Amino acid sequence: MKGLAELIISFFDLLEAEGQLLQRNVLRTLRMALLFALGLLFGAAGLAFFVAALYNALSYVLDPAWVLCIMGIVCAGIAGGLLWMSLPGKKQTP
């Protein structure tokens, strides 16, 4: 009977330790996801400011239609580069 009680106590100690580990890992995962989302948000805002500044600078020199054409090419290039980097099987450089 004593052995069975020790087995049950050991089992619940193990469950408690695993629960604490799970809680720590969940909190770490949530923190990393939040930082990733904030990084994406600020990266998108920075890219939007870059495109707006380029449009503003080019609008002083060229006709607005040509500026929009150039901005379309720049945005398509950025999108193509991002899609190319996200391809599976491509060796990622750190």
Whether 9 maps to a domain, the answer reads yes
Q: How far apart are CA 52 and CA 93, in angstroms?
A: 29
The token pair at 75 is 């945005």
One-letter identity of residue 61: V
| pLDDT single digits (tens) 11-59 | 888 888 888 888 899 999 998 888 888 888 898 898 889 888 888 888 8
Number of domains the chain contains: 1
Query: Does residue 25 sit within a domain?
Result: yes
pTM for the complete prediction? Answer: 0.57
Domain membership flag for residue 94 = no
pLDDT digits (tens, 9 = 90+) for 69-91: 888 888 888 888 878 877 787 66
> 50 in a domain, yes or no?
yes
What is the distance of C-alpha 69 from the center of its chain?
A: 30
41 belongs to a structural domain:
yes
* Domain with 26 in it: 2-85
In this structure, is residue 12 part of a structural domain? yes
Amino acid at 62: L
Residue 92 resides in a domain? no
